[in-house]
């Protein structure tokens, strides 16, 4: 399949931004879409390009990035498959839209953060910069990550988030660092969501990644 076929076959939106600015790969949470999550982009970097695909998995009519058996119970085999598919889409989109060597920064929320993390941990040659908002360890009790030297991840979580438990977040950070990634962890009061504090930290992380 050609790059054009891969890109055109995946629902998404794209805005080129300034040619010397990074591209934000915005990844939505469960039940959201590419339009809603991409609305964060101007506040993170108004000059950036935006590549915003839609999750292809359906759960009770809601778009997601991978299957799960219940809240926090991920189908790890599907995570592995879907991360590979997203890496393929990103590679094709870089060619199709002529992005060249522009930095690509994934900004994901919740389920979108989890697929961004999984993709970076499995395919760091495709995605090496992640800002994970309310994300958690995406591989249950399995060790799937490859060598992550050169990868930079910013995690932003609420300490009392029942959907992204702090134990899973701490395990994520530990594994990332053990595999060689540079990690900046930010914890705030509260639970699942995106706070003003989170957005300020994310804005700084995007600026450093670019």
Q: Which of 38, 45, 52, 161 is catalytic?
A: 161
Within a 10 A sphere around the Cβ of 99, how many other Cβ atoms?
A: 20
Residue 107 host element (H or E):
strand 104-109
First to last CA, the chain: 30
171 is catalytic: no
Q: Is residue 192 flagged as an active site residue?
A: yes
For every residue of 139-208, DSSP letters joined together read TTT-------TT-EEEEEEETT-SSS-HHHHHHHHHHHHHTT-EEEEEEESS-SS--HHHHHHHHHHHHH
Annotation marks residue 5 as catalytic: no
**Residues 24/49, Cβ–Cβ less than 8 Å:** yes
Catalytic residue among 110, 128, 134, 168: 110
Which active-site residues does the annotation give?
110, 161, 192
């Amino acid at each position: 399949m050609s790059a054009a076929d891969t890109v055109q076959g995946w629902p998404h939106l794209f805005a080129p931004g300034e040619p010397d600015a990074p591209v934000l790969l915005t990844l939505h949470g469960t039940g959201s879409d590419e339009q809603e999550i991409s609305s964060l982009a101007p506040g993170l970097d108004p000059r950036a390009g935006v590549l915003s695909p839609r999750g292809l998995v359906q759960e009770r009519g809601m778009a997601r990035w991978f299957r799960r058996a219940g809240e926090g119970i991920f189908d790890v085999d599907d995570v592995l498959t879907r991360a590979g598919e997203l890496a393929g889409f990103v590679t094709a989109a870089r060619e199709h839209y002529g992005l060249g060597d522009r930095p690509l920064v994934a900004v994901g929320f919740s389920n979108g953060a989890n697929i961004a993390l999984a993709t970076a941990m499995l395919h760091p040659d495709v995605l090496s910069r992640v800002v994970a908002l309310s994300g958690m360890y995406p591989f249950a009790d399995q060790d799937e990550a490859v060598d992550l030297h050169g990868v930079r991840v910013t995690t932003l979580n609420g300490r009392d988030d029942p959907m992204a438990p702090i134990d899973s977040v701490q395990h994520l950070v530990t594994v990332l660092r053990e595999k060689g990634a540079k990690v900046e962890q930010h914890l705030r009061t509260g639970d699942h969501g995106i706070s003003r504090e989170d957005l300020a930290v994310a804005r700084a992380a995007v600026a450093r990644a670019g």
